[in-house]
Copies of this chain bind each other. A is one copy, B any other.
Amino acid sequence: MSKVVSSLNEIIDLLKIEDGMTISFHHHLRNGDYVLNMVLEALAQKGLKNLNVNASSVFDTHQPLIGHIQNGVVTGLEANYIGGVVGRAISEGVLAKPVTFRTHGGRPSDISKGTAPIDVAFIAAPTSDTMGNCTGKYGKSACGSLGYAFADAQYAKKVVVITDNLVPYPLTDFSIPEIYVDYVLEVDSIGNPAGIVSGTTKITRDPVGLVMAQYAAKAIQASGLLKNGMSFQTGAGGPSLAAAKFLMDIMLKEGVKGSFGLGGITKYMVDMMNAGCFESLLDVQCFDLDAVESIRTNPRHREISAMQYASPNAKSSAVDSLDVVILGATEIDTDFNVNVHTDSNGYIMGGSGGHSDTAAGAKMAMIIAPLTRARLSIVVDKVLCKSTPGNTIDVLVTQHGIAVNPLKPELALRFKDAGLPVCDIHHLKKVAEEITGVPKRIKLGDKTVANVIYRDGTLLDTIKSVR
């Protein structure tokens, strides 16, 4: 018995894939992924139409998706993140139906609740055995964790594993077990290694970034949360990584031993664990080769599913035990609502990912962002898109000062006591506008091009077309 089939065409026939079905993909191969394009091309060749694509994230390498939308092969799109290339096309109205944006925790939650059903899940697996036991830890296309693919495997009606490293049964160190897999397809390559782990953004050397990072680390130190057992997540942007580096210095100097590092994992988080800052790493996605090597070889670096990372439909998830998260923003408004979906012109170029999940779970959610960007204030009256509700954001760190959500007065006091430059968020807006001038409110179109679904499944905001 073997589940290995010879081609995508054979799979399409065996699974009786039909017009209108929902197919799903995960994004651990990131901008190196070949699988989404490969599958859509095969489906298009077969003449299928009206497909709904549920991809945990869409990257620029998925540009061919635009053509499939234009010719009616794909008429629905659900994602937690959409990069600028496909995002621009969506904002310009290429898709008749609004995109459904979810969060990294909301997606598996909705899948498990049955509100985001999947007909066929395609799992890009850097290594699989002949029965579908598969992992991202080994193989030429190794990507480390397969965290986002677990819900697809568990709940999709049919599951196809696509691999470029087929090994004999059984693959003992599997991530996703054979019990969920219908077919296995071997191909020459599932991805471009240069794009899969494209290398974490380097720690910023920009003086503004370093100022913010210092403030952020000192704010964590002053928050009362920096103590033995602290858990931590940070984004992969330059200032966030610099903040992590400064935090590491403080933890080592003060002998603070944290419990776990969470999230998309970078070399810097691996270094922190190995230096003794954390007992363990809980990893839903690896961002670079150091993280891949670590998850393969260090038992304290553990792969977790997106359910376990952040699903509000789980009995609990790791974000519920998270102390501090450092996050980015394209805009933040004076109510602390954050936009990570669109740029300042309203074009889609991102998405929640785990932003609102970690903000909701963490004891302290900190935004780190330069006060102005491209001659615009990042602090605005009202964000173009509410990606993360303001009542879950505690702190905004900029190079011109730190604003604390009025919901957390004790935090502001602690920061002030530590000599940090605490100020009102309206003040930061004013400072920014003194530099940039008051921006003209941009005019968006009438068409809704995306619905932003909060992690609990409710509609949080809509995104309008750009005219």
A316 on interface, CB distance cutoff 8 Å: yes
Set of chain B residues within 8 Å of A300, measured between Cβ atoms: 172
Given the known interface contacts A177-B305, A229-B168, A321-B170, the answer about A159 and B315 at a Cβ–Cβ threshold of 8 Å is: yes
Given the known interface contacts A168-B229, A229-B168, A259-B170, the answer about A316 and B181 at a Cβ–Cβ threshold of 8 Å is: yes
| A132-B173 Cα distance, complex, nearest whole Å | 23
- Specify which of B178, B259, B314, B317 is in contact with A317 (CB 8 Å cutoff): B178
B321 touches A1 (CB 8 A): yes
Q: Tell me, rounded to whole Å, the shortest Cβ–Cβ distance linking A145 to chain B.
A: 14
Given the known interface contacts A179-B308, A316-B131, A316-B181, the answer about A172 and B321 at a Cβ–Cβ threshold of 8 Å is: no
Given the known interface contacts A1-B316, A178-B308, A178-B317, the answer about A172 and B280 at a Cβ–Cβ threshold of 8 Å is: yes
A108 nearest in chain B by CB position: B179
| A172-B303 Cα distance, complex, nearest whole Å | 9
A182 on interface, CB distance cutoff 8 Å: yes
Total contacting residues, chain A, CB less than 8 A: 38
Set of chain B residues within 8 Å of A140, measured between Cβ atoms: none
A439 on interface, CB distance cutoff 8 Å: no
- Specify which of B3, B169, B173 is in contact with A259 (CB 8 Å cutoff): B169
A282 nearest in chain B by CB position: B170
Q: Tell me, rounded to whole Å, the shortest Cβ–Cβ distance linking A95 to chain B.
A: 33
Given the known interface contacts A172-B279, A178-B314, A315-B181, the answer about A320 and B259 at a Cβ–Cβ threshold of 8 Å is: no
A311 on interface, CB distance cutoff 8 Å: yes
* Number of copies of chain A assembled together: 2
| A467-B115 Cα distance, complex, nearest whole Å | 55
A260 on interface, CB distance cutoff 8 Å: yes
Q: Tell me, rounded to whole Å, the shortest Cβ–Cβ distance linking A315 to chain B.
A: 5
B132 touches A179 (CB 8 A): no
A302 on interface, CB distance cutoff 8 Å: yes
A299 on interface, CB distance cutoff 8 Å: yes
A307 on interface, CB distance cutoff 8 Å: yes
Given A1-B320, A1-B321, A178-B315, 18 extra CB contacts under 8 A: A169-B259, A169-B321, A170-B302, A170-B318, A170-B321, A173-B302, A177-B304, A177-B307, A177-B308, A178-B308, A178-B316, A178-B317, A178-B318, A179-B305, A179-B315, A179-B317, A181-B315, A181-B316
28 pairs, CB–CB < 8 Å, chain A vs chain B: A1-B320, A1-B321, A3-B316, A131-B316, A159-B315, A169-B260, A170-B259, A170-B282, A172-B260, A172-B299, A172-B300, A172-B302, A173-B302, A174-B302, A177-B304, A177-B305, A177-B307, A178-B308, A178-B315, A178-B316, A178-B318, A179-B305, A179-B307, A179-B308, A179-B314, A179-B315, A179-B317, A180-B314
